[in-house]
Amino acid sequence: MAAHAEVKRGKYLYAIVPASGMQSYGLAGIDGATVYIISNGRLAAVVSDVPNQKIRPERRHLAAQQAVLKGLLAATEAMLPMAFGIIADGPQAIKKILSENQEACLKQLQRVAGMVEMGLRVSWDVPNIFEYFVHSHPELRIARDRFLRPYRNPSQEDKIELGRLFDRLLNEDREAYTEKVEEILSPYCQEIKRNKCRHEREVMNLACLVKSAGQARFEESVFEAAKLFDNNFTFDYNGPWAPHNFVELDLQL
């Protein structure tokens, strides 16, 4: 039975870091398992043992992975965080991953060395986003009054046309506002990535690659950018995080 249980154990992969001779960072991973290092060549994988090949994305598991990455962020100069749920069969499988992806990983590690990821979300803080646009965009107000005037039953085509106009204006404003913010943030960022807005009220969702030593200057630039906006907008910046949005790896598993 013990041998059978051992067959089911895998190695959960948290991150890839430069090989340094370290065996452990003193971190606890999923289900409290010890986090340790498996090295091969110039790379090392940060792993822990898992009891089976299926790890559900439960809050406790996600929190454990994030805690490991946060610990690594403070302990190492460069790291490539992995997506949730990557499990290898055993040490040899991990070494094979490191060997077959060594060149790509070293290139990515060089790219993010000494960097952290900061996030910035800007949203419209208004009760009704459509009504806000009606009052701030005469073009939409005229169309609304034409299609939705009293005693007129708008057709489905009318509603679709009005919706398209709203979407166009929404995206045009997002683009204009994002360009203004990026212009102020860019001097303090190595890279800026635009992520997809999660909901209608979101103006922008930016991931910023920032030098670890430059976080204070980045935060100051966020406050500077916020001065361009009135009270109908909210700014929410967060971090530092492992550079998830700036790791572009297609691991050969």
CB atoms closer than 10 angstroms to residue 202 = 16
- pLDDT over threshold 90, residue 236: yes
Residue 5, pLDDT score:
44
Residue range 210-222, pLDDT digits in tens = 999 999 999 999 9
Percent of the chain with pLDDT over 70: 94
- pLDDT over threshold 50, residue 50: yes
- pLDDT over threshold 90, residue 24: no
Burial level of 8, CB count in 10 A (0-12/13-18/19+)? exposed
- pLDDT over threshold 90, residue 107: yes
The answer to which of 67-71, 126-130, 232-236, 246-250 has the lowest mean pLDDT is 246-250
- pLDDT over threshold 50, residue 2: no
Residue range 144-162, pLDDT digits in tens = 988 877 666 778 888 899 9
C-alpha pair distances (Å), 203 with each of 51, 181, 182, 183, 184: 43, 11, 13, 16, 16
Query: What pTM value is reported for the model?
Result: 0.87
Cα–Cα distance measured from residue 93 to residue 95, given in angstroms and rounded to the nearest whole number: 5
Residue range 124-151, pLDDT digits in tens = 999 999 999 999 999 999 999 888 776 6
Percent of the chain with pLDDT over 90: 81
Report the sign of the C-alpha dihedral through residues 134, 135, 141, 145, in that order: positive
Residue range 82-102, pLDDT digits in tens = 999 999 988 999 999 999 999
Provide the mean pLDDT of the chain. Answer: 92
Backbone angles phi, psi at 175, to 5 degrees: -65, -45
The string of DSSP codes covering the chain is: -HHHHHHT-EEEEEEEEE--S--EEEEE-GGGPEEEEEEETTEEEEEEEESSS-----HHHHHHHHHHHHHHHHH-S--EEPPTT-EESSHHHHHHHHHHTHHHHHHHHHHHTTEEEEEEEEEE--S-HHHHHHHH-HHHHHHHHHHS-TT----HHHHHHHHHHHHHHHHHHHHHHHHHHHHHHGGG-SEEEEEPPSSTTEEEEEEEEEEGGGHHHHHHHHHHHHTTS-TTEEEEEEEEE--GGG-------
Q: What are the residue boundaries of the structural domains of the chain, listed by start?
A: 2-113, 116-246
